[in-house]
Amino acid sequence: MREKVEKVINKIRPMLQADGGDVELVDVSEDGVVKVKLTGACGGCPMAQMTLKGGIERVLKEEVPQVKKVESV
């Protein structure tokens, strides 16, 4: 599952980088919890939680059905 998650994150990454941010995959647990770290401009952005839930988590759940939730660490 980690490989699938990495592929999806690599698709999302250019959109974040266009705004000066990035996302780093930290962990993928067996129970479907994906842990990521938002870096660059995303790290301190007030919209980071919306980006995480409305963007990254939504796309990951669509493309990798085993993903239950995404958490920022």
Beta strands 21-28 and 33-40 are: antiparallel
Q: Indicate the pTM of the whole model.
A: 0.91
Q: Tens-of-pLDDT digits for all 73 residues of the chain? A: 999 999 999 999 999 999 899 999 999 999 999 999 999 998 888 889 899 999 999 999 999 999 999 999 9
C-alpha separations of 45 from 19, 56, 60, 67 in Å: 11, 15, 21, 25
Residue 48: give its domain's CATH number. 3.30.300.130
Q: Identify the pLDDT of residue 43.
A: 86
Count of domains observed in the chain: 1
| Residue 68 lies in domain | 2-72
